[in-house]
Each structure stands twice: as C-alpha cells, then as structure tokens.
Amino acid sequence: MSVPIARRGYAHPEVLVSTEWVAAHMNDPRVRLIESNEDPLLYASGHIPGAVEVDWVRDLNHPVVRDYLDRPAFEALMARIGVTPDTTLVFYGDKHNWWATYAFWVFQLFGHTNAKIMDGGRLKWVREGRALTRDIPTYAPTTYRAPERDDRRIRAFRDDVLAHVRAGRRLVDVRSPAEFRGERLHMPDYPNEGALRGGHIPGAVNIPWSRAVNPDDGTFLDAAALRAIYEGEAGLKPDDDLIVYCRIGERSSHTWFVLTYLLGYPRVRNYDGSWTEWGNLVGVPIEKP
C-alpha cells in the first residue's frame, strides 16, 4: 500500500491527488478529469466516469507545423471540454501517467496552473477495481480566454540547448540506457526510428524517466527516494539550471514534473525537440560511448 501523498515529503504535494480523491470528486462541477494516453483505444474501451479525452496528437499538436497548438486552438479546446480558468483539471493516463504529465506540461504553457495529476494513473484506478464507463460525457461549452503561449519559462529550444552545452550546464537524458549509449534510436519494444544519429547531448546524465515511479502501482516514489536518484546518484542540485529531454519531449515532461513539483527545483525546462531534432541536426555535438 502506497504512503499517503501528504507524508511523502514533496515540495508541492497539492499537485497530486489520490484515486480516492478522484472517486470522491467525479461529480464535482469544479473539477474536470482529463485522460491522456499513448494508446488511442483505451479511452473508448472505458474511462473514469465524467472524464474527457485529450489526445496528444489530435488536440495538443499543430496539424502542420511541428509545434504545439496556438492560443486560439487552446481556447477552443478548453471551451469544448467545458472548463474555465477556475476549473481544477486532474490529468491521468496510461504508461504511469507519462502522457498525462505531457498534457499537464502543455497546459502550463498557457498558464492553466490549477491542475493536478492522479497518482498512479489509469493502471492504479483499474487495478483497484474502480468504476469505468464507455459513455462520452458532454459539457456545456464555455468561453475561455488564455494568455499567449509562454515558450520561455519551462520550454527549451535547440539554441537554448546548444548554449547550455557550451556553458557546461546540466542536462538530464530520460531515455533508456540503450538510447543514451546510441545503440537504439527509439525505446525498447518500439520501432527503431526517429533520428539519423544515436548518442546523447554532451554532458547529459542518464536517468530513465520510469525510475521515478513504483513499478507495481505507478505511484511516484517519495521525495527521499527521488533525491537519492537525482541528487545522490546523478549529482543534481536543486538550484541547477536544468534542461530535460527524451525523443519528442513526452517522457521528459514526466521528469520535468518530478523535478519541478515533487522536488521543487525552480529552473527546469523541457526540450520537446529532444533527440528527434538533435539527432537530425547538422553539426551539433553528440557523445556516443
């Protein structure tokens, strides 16, 4: 049985909620549950009653340019799922909330900070035998006004990364060890594709994203265990200026969430271009043991 969230020593425990909390707030009009998965079939096969789906490809990405949706598209998305700036959003999904934290991160680009993650994600909810439904909820459309997307505070671009490397600042590569070593260009059990070159960005330390969760139920490790990994093993410091990356920025959003909210690091940016971009750039430095 996992330790209650409030007793795990997190810097911001309020950003996590338990499955029990979600079960008690499914019908709360001030709360909107959002399911975001890698597997596009999961939501249709059954989801938490009242939860809406936010698909990472269809809803969060620009349909032509490799970029995220712009402000008008974000406002339209929020209006469609019936939320206002005061609505508490609770994200959850498959892969130990890997895609839920990705959606959470994108929403932060538009300033919707009233957001949380359901600890343990979809896997924990299902294993506990909690209610699922195939009914698609409908909510009255709202009028939502968002600020312009903030691409500087928590997002890094290739020129930022290059400057980071030249200045000798810290980077965290959250991919698998085989990807980090350049033996693979994608995750294990996935097609080997995505970049022309393998390896990692010089100076990066490899801390696979999945090390931050308990493998049995997908809940996050407590703060002491997380510090043992990120600070004890990897030598990171809370005041480091950090950039995290993976292949397209989805796994690294999970680590960004851990470092920013659970450990309270104030300067962490996610490089969503990640290895798909870096491994295809002409002339950038790459390390390959």
The predicted-structure confidence for 169-222, as pLDDT tens digits, reads as follows 999 999 999 999 999 988 877 776 679 999 999 999 999 999 999 998 999 999
Give the pLDDT confidence score for residue 191 in this predicted structure: 72
Indicate whether 135 belongs to any domain: no
Are 110 and 170 found together in one domain? no
What is the pLDDT averaged over residues 144-160? Answer: 97
The burial of 258, by beta-carbon neighbours within 10 Å (0-12 exposed, 13-18 middle, 19 or more buried), is given as: buried
- Pick from 154-158, 184-188, 248-252, 278-282: least confident: 184-188
Are 168 and 119 found together in one domain? no
What is the pLDDT averaged over residues 216-237? Answer: 97
Are 81 and 168 found together in one domain? no
**Residue 18 has what DSSP assignment?**
-
Indicate whether 190 belongs to any domain: yes
Cβ neighbors of 234 (< 8 A, separation 6 or more) are: 172, 205, 207
Are 23 and 108 found together in one domain? yes
Are 95 and 179 found together in one domain? no
Domain final position from 75, 110, 127: 127
Whether residue 36 lies in the annotated active site: no
Whole-model pTM over 0.85:
yes
Model confidence pLDDT, tens digit, residues 77-121: 999 999 999 999 999 999 999 999 999 999 999 999 999 999 999
Are 84 and 187 found together in one domain? no
Q: How many domains does the chain have?
A: 2
What is the pLDDT averaged over residues 215-242? Answer: 97
Domain final position from 86, 108, 127: 127
Q: What is the extent of the structural domain holding 81?
A: 5-127
Q: Which of 146, 226, 246, 268 is catalytic?
A: 246
Are 53 and 102 found together in one domain? yes
Are 87 and 166 found together in one domain? no
CATH code assigned at 214: 3.40.250.10
Give the pLDDT confidence score for residue 58 in this predicted structure: 94
Indicate whether 140 belongs to any domain: no
Torsion of CA 15, 18, 19, 20, to 10 degrees: -130
Indicate whether 66 belongs to any domain: yes
Are 86 and 159 found together in one domain? no
Are 115 and 78 found together in one domain? yes
